[in-house]
């Protein structure tokens, strides 16, 4: 049975009682767990024992007009999934436990967090990094697993871990998709039937650009045009960005070189914002 640790004190006591030498794996989440999250749990279990999952809807990473209040919180179903998967412990803190009312210390990264979602959601990555650093400090894992769907989040966290000498290995789990290509996301439940029918075009736009790259196209702007052309015929999809970026620094690219590229898109369908990406290598799509 999964042990539920409901505050920092309980987590610290459990962590201190672990025998020395155990390789602790950690999967931080905001809950509303789906097969994508569970694939990260499986990846952690392959490399670590015990494995801790956290569920915490982090208010710091939501903007004033975003979906904090309505973010899905099916806690009983989440716990059942974690127990079925054999997860060792669930860290389930409250907001007051994580953030004292007069908290005044935050974590910022000034380069990788700037473009893409950083430009569209000011302050978002400050909230992400602050909570991730706190969770890493509390759990003290040797391994932490994040999903490639949030590619910029992965890059920003990797930069923080490098720059601040945090003793943890970061793994990226591949994107898990529906049969029609839509990347699994907790926010997919918001989609109306018409929006859900249109949503797979987001991945199709990435696949079209990846195919052009595999056929020899190396101009970053041309790849973006190919992707945007796929979305142009879908009235329900409003792109926020569609870009080719350096896969690690997320710097803008003119041409795709041997280091490859991250093809990244964010779009709104009604009130729902979805993101997706494909990672290109020098020859083809490496992570779709």
pLDDT in 10s for each residue of the chain, 288 residues: 999 999 999 999 999 999 999 999 999 999 999 999 999 999 999 999 999 999 999 999 999 989 999 999 999 999 999 999 999 999 999 999 999 999 999 999 999 999 999 999 999 999 999 999 999 999 999 999 999 999 999 999 999 999 999 999 999 999 999 999 999 999 999 999 999 999 999 999 999 999 999 999 999 999 999 999 999 989 999 999 999 999 999 999 999 999 999 999 999 999 999 999 999 986 555 555
Is residue 258 packed enough to be buried (19+ CB in 10 Å), middle (13-18) or exposed (0-12)? exposed
271 in helix, strand or coil?
Answer: coil
The CATH code of the domain at 186-287 is: 3.30.1300.10
- Fold match, 3-173 / 186-287: no
Q: Of the residues 34, 37, 124, 213, which is catalytic? A: 37
Helix or strand holding residue 228 (H, E): helix 220-232
Q: Which CATH architecture has domain 3-173?
A: 3-Layer(aba) Sandwich (3.40)
Cβ(172)–Cβ(150) below 8 Å: no
- Judge whether 37 counts as a catalytic residue: yes
Closest alpha carbon to 204 in 81, 288, 91, 93: 288
Q: Which helix (H) or strand (E) holds 15?
A: helix 8-17
Q: Give the side-chain half-sphere CA count within 13 A for 153.
A: 25
Return d(Cα 13, Cα 221) in angstroms, integer: 53
Question: What strands lie across the sheet with 89-91, from one edge to the other?
Answer: 3-5, 89-91, 51-55, 25-29, 143-147, 169-173
Structural contact between residues 15 and 140, judged by C-beta atoms closer than 8 angstroms: yes
Alpha helices in 87-219 (DSSP H): 95-98, 117-120, 124-139, 151-163, 193-198, 200-214
Q: Where are the domains of the chain?
A: 3-173, 186-287
């Amino acid at each position: 049975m999964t042990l539920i640790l409901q505050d920092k004190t309980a987590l610290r006591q459990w962590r201190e009682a672990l025998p020395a030498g155990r390789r602790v794996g950690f999967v931080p989440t905001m809950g509303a767990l789906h097969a994508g999250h569970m694939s990260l749990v499986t990846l952690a279990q392959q490399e670590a024992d015990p494995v801790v999952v956290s569920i915490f809807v982090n208010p710091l990473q939501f903007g004033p007009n975003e979906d904090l209040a309505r973010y899905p919180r099916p806690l009983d179903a989440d716990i059942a999934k974690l127990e079925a998967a054999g997860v060792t412990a669930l860290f389930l803190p409250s907001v007051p436990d994580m953030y004292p009312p007069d908290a005044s210390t935050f974590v910022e990264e000034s380069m990788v967090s700037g473009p893409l979602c950083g430009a569209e959601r000011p302050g978002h990555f400050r909230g992400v990094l602050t909570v991730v650093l706190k969770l890493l400090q509390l759990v003290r894992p040797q391994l932490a697993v994040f999903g490639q769907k949030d590619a910029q989040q992965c890059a920003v966290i990797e930069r923080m871990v490098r720059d601040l000498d945090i003793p943890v290995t970061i793994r990226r789990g591949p994107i898990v998709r529906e049969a029609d290509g839509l990347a699994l996301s907790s926010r997919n439940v918001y989609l109306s039937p018409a929006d859900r029918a249109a949503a797979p075009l987001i991945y199709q736009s990435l696949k079209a650009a990846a195919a052009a790259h595999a056929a020899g196209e190396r101009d970053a702007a041309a790849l973006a045009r190919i992707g945007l052309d796929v979305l142009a015929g879908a009235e329900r999809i409003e792109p926020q960005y569609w870009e080719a970026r350096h896969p690690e620094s997320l710097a803008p690219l003119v041409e795709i070189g041997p280091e490859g590229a991250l093809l990244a898109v964010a779009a709104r369908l009604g009130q729902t914002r979805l993101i997706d990406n494909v990672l290109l290598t020098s020859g083809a799509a490496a992570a779709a």
